[in-house]
Amino acid sequence: MKRLFDIVLIVVLLCFGRVVHSQGHAANWVFGDGFHIEFDEAGPNVLPFIENYYAFEGASSISTKTGELLFYSNTINIWNREFAPLFNSDTLPYTGLIPTTTKSNGSLLLPWPGDSLDRYFAFYTMDEAESKIRLSQIDRYLDMGLGGIVDSFKYKDIFGVGVAEQMTAVRHANGRDWWIICRKGQIESNEFIVALHTPLGIDHWELQDAGFLAGFAGELVSSKDGSFLALTAIGICPEVPSMIGLFSFDRCEGRVQFIDSILTQSCAEGPYGIVFSADGLSLFYSTIKRVRVYQLRLVDDVLVDSLMFTIPGSAFLVESGSLERGKDDEVYISYRLVNTISGLMGVSNHLGKIYMNEFGDYLFDTLFLPLNGRENPTFSLPNFANYDLGPLVGSPCDTLSPQDTTKTGFQSSPLQNISWSVDPSISSGNYTVTGGSGRWLVVHDLYGREVLRLWHEGTTPFDLTTQPAGLYLVHLRGVDGTRSLPQKIVRQ
């Protein structure tokens, strides 16, 4: 298993030396005490505070494909882009003194599977009282284009059992559907719930063994390519330990496979935020008390953590919150001010950043992004999936667009006995396909996104000089939906 982990992550690192920055569904971050950050080509920009919003935990938001804010939530409520309550939404019951939740991954917003126009969205929430996950469908064009919850698909209890605080989503290998992954249990847990969300809603779900028993609180995240999962689990000391877990994930079958777990160095400090680096070679996690940040790597089949940074001083001054990877592929961390009397002022009104320097070493910038002077009393950063993840090209589960040119939804058989080639296999961007005439020439990047489609007759040159360096897959598609096996090329 360790060999598979290393090979996959090294390939991703080598093939994505240059990163394409873009707007998208994760462009706007709404979290904490009304904080609003927008990512553009230059990085994060802090926008004016959103009043009447507070997310102690359970924050989520989603934008259009071009980066305009659509909806945001603190799990208890959901709002539209004009900062007003979303049409036909209700305030979910909560048990605290303030209108927010204590569920770390308490809400999640996703594009509805198969909706190429981005009209419909899925809104997942964990109710505070029973810890059950509820699913709503949002129609973007209700309420004169501000959006609203579809009355016939509103706050549905999809599992009927209580869940822990961790929830995430990974694209199915067909590039359309979503796997919804969470943990069963409200005190401690040794099981995952894995559900498949199709255009019709939840198709099926099942319980899977997590490989170890640990506390219910913490975060669950996936790697950028969706092939690995990791979680933090805060224990109840000393009976239930605090753990970090690493798992592989099969995007075709929705299968979670345990790789390794590690006890945190101090159960009392509590592991909380966790995130994969963009290249997938490292994990980072934070502890609540003392704001310790650790780097995790897999060495000889064993997870090994090393301390990167500790904020000095009392463990009761400031705490660390969520970790999240931004659209710029840097890792950001939030800080929570415990109280204004003894608090470490000037830290919690910033986001920290973990980044790689020119020598390949990870550094920690404690006070990277000022938050307009407002101290943060919360743990939250938004809960995102990788919205840009496409089909797993060439896998048995790559049964839909763009492979299925007939749009039938059924997998097409490979083309038989055709001879064709693409030359050279490595270049600065110019290639030529020869043979296999009368078909579409289709090029995908490593994440399954189609970057080029040309009609091919005889000899067809094509140009990838405007694409980033990395590995690409070239296919020939018949007009009947049949396809060739892919050939790999490298854009230097």
Structure tokens at 102: 């204590």
Instruction: Give the CATH architecture of domain 420-491.
Output: Sandwich (2.60)
Q: Across residues 302-317, what is the average pLDDT?
A: 74
Q: What local confidence, expressed as pLDDT, does residue 265 receive?
A: 63
What are the C-alpha distances in Å from 317 to residues 253, 263, 308, 324, 361? 45, 25, 19, 23, 29
Give CA–CA dist 78/69, Å, rounded.
13
Q: Across residues 440-467, what is the average pLDDT?
A: 87
**Which parts of 276-430 fold into alpha helices (H)?**
none
Q: Is 56 left (phi over 0), alpha (psi -120 to 50) or beta?
A: alpha
Q: What local confidence, expressed as pLDDT, does residue 340 receive?
A: 61
Give CA–CA dist 18/25, Å, rounded.
21
Q: Is the pLDDT of residue 22 over 70?
A: no
Q: Is the pLDDT of residue 486 over 90?
A: no
Q: What local confidence, expressed as pLDDT, does residue 97 receive?
A: 73
Q: How confident is the model at residue 11 (pLDDT cuts 50, 70, 90)?
A: very low
Is the distance from CB of 80 to CB of 72 less than 8 angstroms? no
Mean pLDDT lowest for which of 240-249, 294-303, 443-452? 443-452
| Residue of higher predicted confidence among 23 and 133 | 133
Task: State the average pLDDT for the chain.
Answer: 86
Q: How confident is the model at residue 344 (pLDDT cuts 50, 70, 90)?
A: low
Q: What local confidence, expressed as pLDDT, does residue 435 receive?
A: 92
What are the C-alpha distances in Å from 323 to residues 307, 417, 489? 16, 50, 35
Render pLDDT for 172-206 as a digit per residue (tens, 0 to 9): 998 999 999 999 987 888 999 999 999 999 999 99
Q: What local confidence, expressed as pLDDT, does residue 80 receive?
A: 98
Q: Is the pLDDT of residue 407 over 50?
A: no
Q: What local confidence, expressed as pLDDT, does residue 439 receive?
A: 87
Q: Is the pLDDT of residue 303 over 60?
A: yes
Q: What is the DSSP letter of 415?
A: P
Beta 430-435 vs 459-463: how paired, if at all?
A: antiparallel
- What 3-state class would DSSP assign to 60? strand
| Residue of higher predicted confidence among 476 and 81 | 81
Give CA–CA dist 283/224, Å, rounded.
12
Q: Is the pLDDT of residue 106 over 60?
A: yes
Q: Omega into 382 within 30° of 0, i.e. cis?
A: no
Q: What local confidence, expressed as pLDDT, does residue 9 receive?
A: 38
- Percent of the chain, pLDDT > 70? 87
What does CATH list as the number for 2-370?
A: 2.130.10.10
Give CA–CA dist 145/352, Å, rounded.
36
Only one residue has tokens 């805060």, namely 234
Mean pLDDT lowest for which of 46-50, 245-249, 392-396? 392-396
| Residue of higher predicted confidence among 144 and 2 | 144
Give CA–CA dist 47/486, Å, rounded.
45
Q: What local confidence, expressed as pLDDT, does residue 64 receive?
A: 95
Q: How confident is the model at residue 221 (pLDDT cuts 50, 70, 90)?
A: very high
Buried b vs exposed e over 153-182: b needs ≥16 C-beta within 10 Å?
bbeeebbebbbbbbbbbbbbbbbbbbbbbb
- Percent of the chain, pLDDT > 90? 57
Query: What predicted TM-score, i.e. pTM, was given to this entire model?
Result: 0.78
Q: Is the pLDDT of residue 368 over 50?
A: yes
Render pLDDT for 54-87 as a digit per residue (tens, 0 to 9): 999 999 999 999 999 999 999 999 999 999 999 9
The C-alpha angle with vertex 266 and arms to 263 and 272, in degrees rounded to 5, equals: 75
What are the extents of the domains in the chain?
A: 2-370, 420-491
Structure tokens at 179: 């796997």
